[in-house]
Structure formats: structure tokens, C-alpha cells
A and B are shown apart, each in its own frame.
Chain A
Amino acid sequence: MKYFFICVLLFPFTTYGQFNQIHQRLSFADYLFCSRDYLRAAEEFDKILPEIHNDTIFIKIGLSYYNIKDYPNSIKYFSMVKDEPDLSSYANEKIMVSYFLNKEYKLIKFYNPTSRGIMKLFNYSLLIRNYPPDKSIFLRPFDEEEKIEAQRFYNLKINPPTKSSTLAAIMSAIIPGAGKIYTNRISDGITSLIATSLLGYLTYTNYKADHKARTYIFAGLTGFFYAGNIYGSFLSAKVYNQKISEDFNLNLNIYLEGKNYFVTEPKFCK
């Protein structure tokens, strides 16, 4: 009887201790999250989930994985947010951004018609996928300020400043090195012109002097340098075009990162 009485007295302390332990763990996870120690924060939050699970914790776990670029996991946790409408809309936006960053452009959809940020991101994803819509449709969700940049990116996609590889090859066939100069490799073009002309001149002088062996050697070398110059100009234009495409994607990503992918972040830390 006495022991039973003691147990009854001590029971609240033990449960309170356990409760306190979970809340301490939550505080610690919050501290890790705010200290940007995202991997450990995600692990700590994950351990709390069986006891406490609410939308804020799901968002925080999702954000932790998002910040360490583990997009499949971030999508998984953002998808669990269901109850609070504000957080749910934010989580949906973050899911779409995660798809965008994970290069799963086809999965980007805007369920909520009021989410203009996702509409903007969707339009940019169409540019990256090489399916640009009509200009008026593309520019529709953007503000007046954003329209200038959006228009610039759109024009760069529709009319990229590329060079024709065939034209570069033809130019080099007519004047050695001209194709390389056309693709902005000016010094390479001049070197090519000098090398091919010099070898051609040596072939000519040796032919004039009736040195047959030297004529054959220099003629062979001239031919190879000439062919190398034509094919090199063709490839130089291809390399140039690839650089244009890569620069477009890089500049677009830098711009979107600066805009935080059109998502307004709630403040979870002081």
C-alpha cells in the first residue's frame, strides 16, 4: 500500500520528465535549424515526429533537406503539410521549387491559381525545356519591374546569338582562319592563317625549285593543316553555341536564386 502511494506520487514527475525531454529536444532541433546545421536538425526533428507532428515541424524538416540540396526528401516532408492553409500553400511552392532545382521540370504545376510565383517559375522552366510559349502568355504573370528581365531572357532563348557552324567551315575554306575569327577566336584564326599560308608558300617554293620529296612533305602538311582549320572552325562554332546555351542557363539560375524562386520565406528564426 505504501509503495503504491509512492508510485502514484512519483508518476506525474516521470511523465513530466518525458514531456520535458521532448520539448528540450525540439528546442535543440530548433537551435540546430537556426544555426544552419541542417542535416543534424533534420535528424533531430525526425526523432520528435512520433511524439509531436505538426505542419511547422514538417516544414522545418523539409527546409532542412532543401537547404542541403536533398530535394527528394524535402519534397517528401513538404508534401506532409496539410492542415494550415498558409503553410500548405508555402509548402506547395517549395515543392515546385524543389522540382525545379532537381531538374524535374515536367512535374512543375500550379494547382493554386493565386500562386503567381509558381506561374513565373513554370514559365521559366518552359524556357529551359526549349518549349517557349507565346511572348504575351510568357510575360503575363510578371510585374512591370520583372517584365524587363523576363523579356530579356525570352528574347535570348528565341533568338540566341549563336554562330552557324557550316558558315564558319565555309569561311575557313575560303580564307584559312576566317571561320575562327567569326566565332570570336581571333588569335586562333590569325595563327591558322599564318601556319597554312606559310606551309603553302614552302610547298610552292620547293615545287618551283624542283625538290620533289620536300614538296610532297610540305604539300601533305599544308593539306592536313588546311583540313584541320576547316574542321576546327566548324567545331569552334559548335563550342561557341554550347557556351551560349550554358551561359543562358547559368545566368537564369543566378537571377532566379537572387529572386528566391519567387517564394516569400516565413521567418522561423530570430
Chain B
Amino acid sequence: MRISFLIIFLFSGINLFAQTDYQRWEKKPYNLTKENLSVQREYKFTGDNAIDFVVTSGISLYWFFISDLDGANCPYEPSCSSFLVQSIKKTNPLTGTILFFDRFTRDMNLFDRDVNYTITKRGQLYDPPEHYIFN
């Protein structure tokens, strides 16, 4: 009785840490889609005031009908349209729009890009509105 109990006791430990064969080793389902972290787009047709409503709705329509179909072609991070939304949020509609036109001019320039901007992991030129807002 004692010996059998001892044997069972000893082997119970082995059983606990034994390989669990019932867990089948198989391929996990894989996902080849690439998460686009930079374009966190919020499609909105509302606004705090008239200007905000016009800008937000206009940008949302542009994203929905043009940008999403055309693909992420803007070399900048954030893209020019996101830059407009962010700069208006961070400053005011007039300054934000002027900042956007300055960005758009810089977007047309094909030279010295790697010199003037930091290049992100995705190969885009990092140029957020914070770089142009001075207190």
C-alpha cells in the first residue's frame, strides 16, 4: 500500500509537467494586412461652429470620395489633409488654413526632402503642425 502510494505520488509530479499532447501544434492564422497607424481618420459631418463644420465635412468628403480610393500617396506624415485638420484644431481656422497652404507649397517641392525632414519607419517625411506652432 505504502509503495503503491509512493509510486503514484512520484509519478503525479511527472504527469503534471508532462508534454500536453492534446494541444495540437498547428499553424496559427496569419494576417498579411498592414496596419495603417498614421491615418486615423474620423469621418465627421459635425462641427463646433460654422467654419469647423465646413472644414470637417469637406475633408471627410475628400477622404471618402477621393483619398481613400486614390490611396495614401502623400509623402508626408501626417498627410496634407490631416495636417489641415490638426493645424486648425491646434491654432484657429485662419492660421490653420495658411499653415496648410504653406505645407502644400512644400509638398510641391521635390528637392532636399531628406535633408529638411526626419524620415519615418514607413519612409514618409515627418512634418506635423507642432513643428510650426511657436508660443
Q: Which residues of A contact B (CB under 8 A)?
A: 185-188, 190-192, 195, 224-225, 227-229, 231-232, 235, 238-239
Other than the known A188-B106, A228-B103, what 9 A-B pairs have Cβ atoms closer than 8 Å? A185-B116, A187-B110, A224-B97, A225-B104, A228-B99, A232-B99, A232-B105, A235-B132, A239-B132
The 6 A-B residue pairs with the shortest CB-CB distance, nearest first, are A228-B101, A232-B102, A187-B111, A228-B102, A191-B109, A224-B101
Give residues of chain B (96-135) contacting chain A, Cβ–Cβ below 8 Å: 97-106, 108-112, 116, 131-132, 134
A228 CB contacts on chain B under 8 angstroms? 98-105
Q: Which residues of B contact A (CB under 8 A)?
A: 95, 97-106, 108-112, 116, 131-132, 134
A224 CB contacts on chain B under 8 angstroms? 97-98, 101
Which residue in chain B gives the minimum CB-CB distance to A165? B134
Closest chain B CB from A242 CB (angstroms): 8
Which residue in chain A gives the minimum CB-CB distance to B113? A187
Chain B at the A interface: SS class: helix
**A235 in contact with B105 (CB, 8 Å):** no
**B104 in contact with A238 (CB, 8 Å):** no
Provide the bound-state CA to CA distance between A165 and B112, in Å.
Answer: 22
B106 CB contacts on chain A under 8 angstroms? 188, 191, 232
Provide the bound-state CA to CA distance between A228 and B132, in Å.
Answer: 12
A231 CB contacts on chain B under 8 angstroms? 95, 98-99, 102
**B105 in contact with A229 (CB, 8 Å):** yes
B95 CB contacts on chain A under 8 angstroms? 231
Best-buried of A190, A192, A228 by chain B (most CB within 10 Å): A228
**A239 in contact with B131 (CB, 8 Å):** yes
Provide the bound-state CA to CA distance between A188 and B103, in Å.
Answer: 10
**B100 in contact with A188 (CB, 8 Å):** no
**A192 in contact with B131 (CB, 8 Å):** no
Closest chain B CB from A254 CB (angstroms): 20
**B101 in contact with A225 (CB, 8 Å):** yes
